[in-house]
Structure 1
């Protein structure tokens, strides 16, 4: 049954929503309505229209919220005129309504004209062929003035604004940007302030392709205007409600939006950032930078993007056509935008938000694909550097100093010498570690800079110098110039983007200056020729890094297809929030219950309980793929025989996920070995017997996932003549890895995934230095929270606190495993008409603790007591499930 409350709200869904979609939208709406730091952690399986549901609920709430704010302002005006004659109050309110309505309608008409102009341009372009862009690639210079291009000029050691770490701007450039309405803290005219949206929705996802899909969905619904009905004029008979286009703005990096050919061709993000900001500080200005002369194009860019719901490609195209920089011009559209889309790194880094002029205070943050948000926070704050990169850095610095050393001013010489000492110290430490025993471990950060007196260097000042002087760009640009000249290239001069070693060094030094109890530095030897070794900075907990978002946003929605288990998000992203501030929801699927079959296969034989103790009754052939037991050849053979039986009744595609690449290789080798007891048909291997049932494919660590998926799909959808994959036919079997390339982002919908098996529980390596550090940190952080929370009452004893801390670490470790399992399971069911079986092969899947960490829709489809019924019970269940579904 659907929620009657949900039906009371018109979410303006372009289709008739399913009950689970109504439940999801109502929950989002309620969390947004509560505001005041509310958090929603919501799970809606892939294939249930999650993105569209997010859009409809969030935009419905936003428009309703804005309408209520307008109404409240009128009530405030009326209250302020208490005691005045009614006609005066009525006139004042009428004038206020008319003025707001006039501004709204003028804005909407202007945007409609922009949309019409865009449409006419598209139609003309289709008739005459694509309009030629007026920006031509920069011609190759026959000669390069090396001193002008690469020599570092004056640098002053002054205080800077830490917020703009993506590239410092000169005071002149900042002043110029303020004149045209760019940058933070800019005074806007009263007219512009009138159209600024008070509450914005910041929507972020992992990749640009996911954001592009979201924007395509955003174009589907139509929402009522933000003004109350009585303030919006009606045309015609007035029966149709007016609508208002969603004002959406996509933000991205310079790498995606730069329209200056001489800068964009540099390739790497770091090089593009440096060259862009250098142009702003030099006499050679970027011609595309917004300035008073091109203010008309800047405003035209703003109006166009707010009128057309653009994606990143549209932003780039409009910028090119208007000869204006989309990266900077987009900031003029931020005040008028209702929805701002941006990738994870631009939201999760405070410096990136401040550089773009993003203020989350009082606004809504929606994080989609949030199952990996904690890893994403760690990734944007991580850094690594290799010994081979340090050697290259030393080489290019040497080339640069040899050419320009005598022309450098005193302070520049000192700072470049300090960079060299840091490079030497890190190189010496890694060189020593490479020769010692042990392939990996934790590095003492205090020892990394002991060599060459580098520990006496002010790293904060050194990092700032490299960023402001554009040393990395200058040095690497000069090295590329020398290399290009030596090779006599036939293509335009291009700075290498493959290994910007000094930019890599800066990232690592920033990590060194930001070391805290939440971070560790690790070393790891690499299996390469020649031998190499790397240093990596790892953020052990996202709590502090995420706190600037958690403490400022009005509301945060974490949404994903497989968010279970939920506990980690509460404990590590919002550890201080009371339960009343956090709403969780695990939606069911849109498919009917008859389209899902979930089975926990604990053993080939049925398990009979002995005196109510099922654990004591486990047979010797129970499936348990723990690290200690998974190499048992008899169990691997039983797994192969079980899979052989499954392939006999499951049509089309079967996908099996293993805990690791190493174990997958081990299993395949065992199945390919000759059977000690040949079958009646001869000495066939298990591998050959499986190949007789279905075409075989398996994922390798360095292989191409696209090629494997293409061949697997072709074997099912377009099989060779005589090998049809129809009911009872051949089909294909794909052996993959949990956490591998095929376990996330790949859809095994319909015939490609009629059965998904998960073999064992893919726990991370608890003995690795990274996981040892994580466990140690979680235990110490939990103890600290318990100690601070207990206060003087000391309600938690020492032994109890230690037990709770160890349990918190165990939960985090197990939750990481189950999130990976849940992601793999979610590959099968992708839409309402889809159907699939899920087989969880390990006795531990029969335990309540593990089952509680499965998504709600999977738990709902789990056959009760299946872990006791063995392979025979599974085969009967599968036969019944697929009966009548074939064809």
Structure 2
């Protein structure tokens, strides 16, 4: 090849890369796997009509940035096509002469362009104002930290009796509230809860309305348009995503011929969160629990009697509508995170929780944590309305989405909490019982009987010979005649009357009065709110849910206790409203394999042509990954299967054998000799890790214990159940990256699959040159919750087939598949901790002969299977050491 030809080829490649990057407006030159990922996301959004994408892209491949580039590119393209389609409709349905139609189109195009320009100009002003405020803050004293101080204690002793009644007494109409407002499907306020609706109407902050009641046409752009709802597990992950959102630039949503502001347009984004994170009222925020804050917030917004001196919350948008409008514009203009919204609301003296709702209609992408999306009631309260035409739902870190669905519908209650709830209620009734009227007196009495009934059942079960089991819900309330009570009506009353809040607030008020000052300790757990949540689970108890009990032994100064738990066994029905209502649902994660469970349990009625799955390769070159299956210590003789050798079998019945634990220690000793820097070992459980460490600590004949020999080679650290992982991780990192002492080569970290080190922790570069998976971390199939879950899957197997048709697989096979998939998702997640970027490299050792079976291997992520050394399961420890020695020498030579 000549120099000219080579130069031309490089130029062509550069042009192709630039074209690929510009197609999805990726801020960098994307890898091939990123292009494949973005194309799939774009296609799923484009096809719509309930399409589902289940996409796996390994950590380190820029998954989040690829998601937003593809989705927002599609959104802007879709908006432009909708604009042209609306003009085409005008042209096709008009019977006027061509020149009249052309004039109409020109006028309509100019009208929309004018609205777009005025809106963008208004948001540009908001951006400039925020930049100026930020610059001023830089020069002056920074006030970035949240201040949630109390307003100061009031003298409780001096408070008059009528003031107590006004604040804590249940009203005669509580629990039977009606609204005179009429809403319909065309009313944009129907997006919101009744509570938010009233506030926005009062403040004049309805989309398309100013404080003076005049129509603001600029805000009608995008009101009913497409929206992307992006959700992840934690607020910190959402904050990282918002940082990625600030990198790319996207073309205008208006066609270039109609866009007066040029070809680019800033993204409109709003984050949503709970009152607990956004409340700026010190007297409310200090209550601590979500339930207490929600109830107090609602209490402050109730209409006050004319002769009442009590005041509502001074931060509601209706108290300062002009600032609320400024909040809306600033939020849409600046790509804020939750902390930014809090600071903005504090500065403008307007509630960020409610003011952020006013920005929802104008937003293109809305970020929120799992619980706010997965519960239909939470979506409605936030103003989120999914529909088949205009809603794209993206779930990031979706490998645990089924657990997340179960978690938001779970409820738990302890006997000790019931005792405290009964005490609180007795104190309240002694003070206000004679003043309660009508339904309030009846409902409080019924709640007391329910507490007595549940307490009686738990007290009797506390001495049960079985420490755990499944509960018959009909048996729970047989005591004290509680089974005759209408739990639906009782629970409705408890929620609408804010009974839990008033009772617990009165108790806190008495405690403060006795002490003479506000208690500086953490607020006590809201036991009546906990009881209310459990009653809600009882009233909504469906065939896919079960109630369990668990006896809690006395420890740490705590008395013996017993806990009731409601567990959702299947996420199908709970997730159905999202699956049915959205235009497209995309589940994305670094380790989504195996895929089958998502299809079976989240989208059982979706036809095959509605489902798209993708498992991307890694961005690292093939030579940077070495995956070895260590089935036995010795290599299998030629011509014989590996099972004839000394097997590594970590099944529950065999893993405690002294020879198995000794051989594992010997394998790790040799591995630590070959592997530089950091080695992370994942065990199947904390119990087994403790058992192995105890065995390794015993001296052997003529030799020091294995534990001592491991410490001579590498600094050894271990994860412990319930303890913080931060200190262990810091010490482990320092042992590798700091100065080496005592001739040791790096560090060894003993962790647990499913523990704190297996998710969210990055063992990149030197911190994770080798990851060892010991055994298969199957859940305890004899545990009541897993036993019930397996029985449920077996019993519902007839409707588990795709599209609702009977499944060809037996119920037992489906249950086994679900059980294995739960195990292998955890394995994939742990392995993914090691490779974090394109230049990283690591070895993966799968230590158990069962990893050599095709059934188990097929459940590993595709990129892990691609790095497997062929025939490694037959080559034993010696073969592994030789291969890994060559692998690491090759990396050292390239430095």
Instruction: Give the TM-score normalised by structure 2.
Output: 0.91
The 1:820–1:153 alpha-carbon spacing in structure 2 relative to 1, beyond 3 Å, is same
Query: Is 1:459 matched up with 2:483?
Result: no
For each residue in 1:687-715, what CA deviation from the matched residue of structure 2 results, as whole angstroms up to 9, or x when unmatched?
A: 11111100011111132211111111111
CA–CA distance in structure 1, aligned partners of residues 542 and 375 of structure 2: 17
1:220 counterpart residue number? 247
Moved more, 216-225 or 181-190: 181-190
Instruction: Give the TM-score normalised by structure 1.
Output: 0.92
For each residue in 1:846-866, what CA deviation from the matched residue of structure 2 results, as whole angstroms up to 9, or x when unmatched?
A: 111111000111000011111
1:317 to 343, 354, 371: 343
For each residue in 1:726-748, what CA deviation from the matched residue of structure 2 results, as whole angstroms up to 9, or x when unmatched?
A: xxx52000000000111111111
2:770 counterpart residue number? 755
1:829 counterpart residue number? 835
The 1:669–1:785 alpha-carbon spacing in structure 2 relative to 1, beyond 3 Å, is closer
1:877 counterpart residue number? 883
2:430 counterpart residue number? 402
The 1:334–1:697 alpha-carbon spacing in structure 2 relative to 1, beyond 3 Å, is same
1:148 counterpart residue number? 166
1:481–1:493 Cα contact (<8 Å) kept: no
The 1:5–1:131 alpha-carbon spacing in structure 2 relative to 1, beyond 3 Å, is closer
State the shift of 1:150 in Å: 1.8
The 1:354–1:879 alpha-carbon spacing in structure 2 relative to 1, beyond 3 Å, is same
State the shift of 1:64 in Å: 0.4
1:238 counterpart residue number? none
Computed over aligned residues only, the root mean square deviation of the Cα atoms, in angstroms, reads: 2.5
2:111 to 80, 99, 107: 99
1:267–1:495 Cα contact (<8 Å) kept: no
1:481–1:495 Cα contact (<8 Å) kept: no
Query: Is 1:442 matched up with 2:442?
Result: no
2:731 counterpart residue number? 711
For each residue in 1:545-564, what CA deviation from the matched residue of structure 2 results, as whole angstroms up to 9, or x when unmatched?
A: 00000000000000000000
Query: Is 1:692 matched up with 2:708?
Result: no
2:369 to 343, 346, 354: 343
State the shift of 1:182 in Å: 6.1
2:200 counterpart residue number? 177
1:378–1:541 Cα contact (<8 Å) kept: yes
2:207–2:220 Cα contact (<8 Å) kept: no
For each residue in 1:109-145, what CA deviation from the matched residue of structure 2 results, as whole angstroms up to 9, or x when unmatched?
A: 1111110111111111211223799998523212344
The 1:870–1:422 alpha-carbon spacing in structure 2 relative to 1, beyond 3 Å, is same
The 1:596–1:59 alpha-carbon spacing in structure 2 relative to 1, beyond 3 Å, is same
- Does the residue aligned with 1:627 lie in a helix, a strand or coil? coil
State the shift of 1:87 in Å: 2.5
The 1:494–1:196 alpha-carbon spacing in structure 2 relative to 1, beyond 3 Å, is farther
1:307 counterpart residue number? 333
2:278–2:342 Cα contact (<8 Å) kept: yes
Query: Is 1:588 matched up with 2:613?
Result: no
1:251–1:312 Cα contact (<8 Å) kept: yes
Unpaired segments of 5 or more residues in structure 2? Answer: 1-12, 184-191, 305-310
CA–CA distance in structure 1, aligned partners of residues 249 and 550 of structure 2: 53
CA–CA distance in structure 2, aligned partners of residues 542 and 869 of structure 1: 43
State the shift of 1:149 in Å: 2.4
1:856 to 852, 857, 862: 862
CA–CA distance in structure 2, aligned partners of residues 883 and 730 of structure 1: 15
- Does the residue aligned with 1:597 lie in a helix, a strand or coil? strand
5 Å matches for 1:266-665?
Answer: 266-283=287-304, 284-291=311-318, 294-361=320-387, 362=389, 363-489=391-517, 492=518, 497-528=523-554, 529-608=558-637, 610=639, 614=641, 618-665=643-690
- Does the residue aligned with 1:441 lie in a helix, a strand or coil? strand
1:86 counterpart residue number? 98
1:759–1:840 Cα contact (<8 Å) kept: yes
For each residue in 1:280-323, what CA deviation from the matched residue of structure 2 results, as whole angstroms up to 9, or x when unmatched?
A: 115221111121x5221111111000000000011111111111
State the shift of 1:7 in Å: 3.3
The 1:672–1:376 alpha-carbon spacing in structure 2 relative to 1, beyond 3 Å, is same
5 Å matches for 1:121-270?
Answer: 121-130=133-142, 137-143=150-156, 144=159, 145-158=163-176, 174-180=197-203, 189=215, 191=217, 192-233=219-260, 242-270=263-291
1:525–1:532 Cα contact (<8 Å) kept: yes
Moved more, 713-722 or 333-342: 713-722
CA–CA distance in structure 1, aligned partners of residues 519 and 496 of structure 2: 24
CA–CA distance in structure 1, aligned partners of residues 17 and 816 of structure 2: 41
1:743 to 758, 761, 764: 758
- Does the residue aligned with 1:523 lie in a helix, a strand or coil? strand
CA–CA distance in structure 2, aligned partners of residues 568 and 630 of structure 1: 28
CA–CA distance in structure 2, aligned partners of residues 391 and 741 of structure 1: 33
1:64 to 74, 77, 84: 77
- Does the residue aligned with 2:61 lie in a helix, a strand or coil? coil
CA–CA distance in structure 1, aligned partners of residues 781 and 107 of structure 2: 69
1:237 counterpart residue number? none
For each residue in 1:844-886, what CA deviation from the matched residue of structure 2 results, as whole angstroms up to 9, or x when unmatched?
A: 1011111100011100001111111111110011011101323
CA–CA distance in structure 1, aligned partners of residues 607 and 680 of structure 2: 41
Moved more, 2-11 or 192-201: 2-11
The 1:812–1:785 alpha-carbon spacing in structure 2 relative to 1, beyond 3 Å, is closer
1:12–1:56 Cα contact (<8 Å) kept: yes
The 1:157–1:397 alpha-carbon spacing in structure 2 relative to 1, beyond 3 Å, is closer
State the shift of 1:401 in Å: 1.1
Query: Is 1:12 matched up with 2:25?
Result: yes
- Does the residue aligned with 1:551 lie in a helix, a strand or coil? helix
2:571–2:602 Cα contact (<8 Å) kept: yes
- Does the residue aligned with 1:883 lie in a helix, a strand or coil? helix
CA–CA distance in structure 2, aligned partners of residues 518 and 471 of structure 1: 30
State the shift of 1:326 in Å: 0.9
Moved more, 177-186 or 561-570: 177-186
2:851–2:857 Cα contact (<8 Å) kept: yes
State the shift of 1:88 in Å: 2.0
1:726 counterpart residue number? none
Moved more, 254-263 or 179-188: 179-188
State the shift of 1:173 in Å: 7.5
1:31–1:38 Cα contact (<8 Å) kept: yes
The 1:807–1:201 alpha-carbon spacing in structure 2 relative to 1, beyond 3 Å, is same
CA–CA distance in structure 2, aligned partners of residues 157 and 746 of structure 1: 47
For each residue in 1:146-174, what CA deviation from the matched residue of structure 2 results, as whole angstroms up to 9, or x when unmatched?
A: 3232222223553779xx9xxxx997985
- Does the residue aligned with 1:885 lie in a helix, a strand or coil? helix
